[in-house]
Amino acid sequence: MKSKRIPLLVTGCLVIALVASACAPAATPTPKPKPTAAPKATAVPATAVPTPKARGTLKYSIYWEPPVKNPIFEGVSGDMAWFFDPLIRFEYDGSIVPRLAESWEYDPEGLEWTFHLRTNVKWHDGEAFSADDVVFTINKIEDPDIASPVLSYLQVSGENIQVQKVDAHTVKFTLPQPYGPFLTNLTNVGIAPKHILENVADMEISDFNQQPIGTGPFRVTEVVDGDHWTLEANDDFYLGKPGLAGLFIRISGDTEAVVAALKTGELDIAETEEITHLDWFKQEGGYTIYTCTPGGGALLFLNLLEEPLFKDVRVRQAMAYAIDRQGIVDTITYGYAVVAHAAIIDKGFSAWASNPNVTRYDYNPEKAKDILGEAGWTDSDGDGILDKDGKPFRFTTTMQSGYATYENTVAVIQANLKQVGIDMQIQALERSAFRALRADKARADKTQAMFSGAGIPFDPDLMYTTYHSSMYPGGSVNLYGYRNERVDELLDNGRTTVDREARKPFYIEAQQIVADEIPYIPIYFYWIGWVVNDRVKGLPKPEDLGGVDPTYYIGWFAERLSIE
Taking the least distance from each CB to other proteins, the nearer of 51 and 470 is: 470
Helices (H) and strands (E) in the chain, counts: 17, 25
| CB count in 10 Å sphere of residue 281 | 21
Over the window 109 to 148, marking each residue x when it contacts other proteins by CB under 8 A and - when it does not, the resulting string is -----------------------------------x--x-
Among 30, 36, 95, 264, binds other proteins (CB under 8 A): 264
Over the window 468 to 487, marking each residue x when it contacts other proteins by CB under 8 A and - when it does not, the resulting string is ------xxxx----------
Taking the least distance from each CB to other proteins, the nearer of 54 and 147 is: 147
Taking the least distance from each CB to other proteins, the nearer of 380 and 432 is: 432
Taking the least distance from each CB to other proteins, the nearer of 361 and 458 is: 458
Taking the least distance from each CB to other proteins, the nearer of 103 and 211 is: 211
Q: Does 454 bind other proteins (CB under 8 A)?
A: yes
Residue 140 and residue 203 in contact, taking contact as beta carbons nearer than 8 Å: yes
Amino acid identity of 461?
D
Among 34, 165, 263, 483, binds other proteins (CB under 8 A): 263
Among 45, 126, 226, 382, binds other proteins (CB under 8 A): 226
Taking the least distance from each CB to other proteins, the nearer of 128 and 261 is: 261
For every residue of 90-134, DSSP letters joined together read: E-TTS-EEESSEEEEEE-TTS-EEEEEEPSS-B-TTSPBP-HHHH
Cα–Cα separations (whole angstroms), residue 216 to 80, 192, 219, 242: 9, 11, 7, 10
Instruction: Find residue 172's DSSP bridge partners.
Output: 114, 164
Among 21, 57, 170, 326, binds other proteins (CB under 8 A): 57
Instruction: Find residue 224's DSSP bridge partners.
Output: 228
Among 47, 51, 221, 432, binds other proteins (CB under 8 A): 432
Sign of CA dihedral 530, 534, 538, 544: positive
Q: Does 13 bind other proteins (CB under 8 A)?
A: no
Q: Does 394 bind other proteins (CB under 8 A)?
A: no
Taking the least distance from each CB to other proteins, the nearer of 79 and 85 is: 79
What is the CA 380 to chain-centroid distance, rounded? 45
Residues 76-105 interacting with other proteins (rule: CB under 8 A): 77-78
What is the size of the binding site for other proteins (CB under 8 A)? Answer: 66
Cα separation, 254 vs 526, whole angstroms: 21
Question: Which three-class secondary structure state does DSSP give residue 203?
Answer: helix
Contacts of 436 by beta carbon, 8 Å cutoff, 6+ apart: none
Taking the least distance from each CB to other proteins, the nearer of 171 and 186 is: 186
Residue 350 and residue 459 in contact, taking contact as beta carbons nearer than 8 Å: yes
Residues 309-328 interacting with other proteins (rule: CB under 8 A): none
Cα separation, 494 vs 488, whole angstroms: 10
Segment interacting with other proteins, rule: CB under 8 A, options 176-184, 264-272, 333-341, 483-491: 264-272
Cα separation, 213 vs 408, whole angstroms: 43
Over the window 354 to 393, marking each residue x when it contacts other proteins by CB under 8 A and - when it does not, the resulting string is ----------------------------------------
Q: Does 350 bind other proteins (CB under 8 A)?
A: no
Over the window 508 to 537, marking each residue x when it contacts other proteins by CB under 8 A and - when it does not, the resulting string is ------------------------------
Taking the least distance from each CB to other proteins, the nearer of 65 and 91 is: 65
Cα separation, 86 vs 75, whole angstroms: 9
Among 45, 64, 108, 199, binds other proteins (CB under 8 A): 64
Cα–Cα separations (whole angstroms), residue 128 to 85, 214, 221, 285: 14, 11, 20, 45
Taking the least distance from each CB to other proteins, the nearer of 417 and 456 is: 456
Cα separation, 97 vs 321, whole angstroms: 42
Segment interacting with other proteins, rule: CB under 8 A, options 72-80, 94-102, 285-293, 485-493: 72-80
Cα separation, 218 vs 233, whole angstroms: 5
Taking the least distance from each CB to other proteins, the nearer of 369 and 438 is: 438
Amino acid identity of 3?
S
Q: How far is the CB of 148 from other proteins (least distance, A)?
A: 9
Q: Does 158 bind other proteins (CB under 8 A)?
A: yes
Q: How far is the CB of 361 from other proteins (least distance, A)?
A: 24
Residue 469 and residue 304 in contact, taking contact as beta carbons nearer than 8 Å: no
Among 327, 551, 554, 560, binds other proteins (CB under 8 A): 551
Q: Does 166 bind other proteins (CB under 8 A)?
A: no
Residue 328 and residue 524 in contact, taking contact as beta carbons nearer than 8 Å: yes
Among 122, 250, 483, 504, binds other proteins (CB under 8 A): 250
Amino acid identity of 296?
G
Rg (CA), the chain: 25
Segment interacting with other proteins, rule: CB under 8 A, options 7-15, 312-320, 425-433, 509-517: 425-433
Segment interacting with other proteins, rule: CB under 8 A, options 94-102, 378-386, 415-423, 451-459: 451-459
Contacts of 27 by beta carbon, 8 Å cutoff, 6+ apart: 21, 330, 331, 334, 335
Crossing angle of the two packed helices 8-23 and 404-419, in degrees rounded to 10: 80
Cα separation, 467 vs 471, whole angstroms: 8
DSSP state of 259: H
Taking the least distance from each CB to other proteins, the nearer of 256 and 381 is: 256
Residue 272 and residue 529 in contact, taking contact as beta carbons nearer than 8 Å: yes
Interface ranges with other proteins (CB under 8 A): 1, 57, 59, 63-64, 66-68, 73-75, 77-78, 144, 147, 149, 151-152, 158, 204-205, 209-210, 224-228, 248, 250-254, 256-258, 260-261, 263-264, 266-267, 296, 429-437, 439, 453-456, 465, 474-477, 549, 551-552
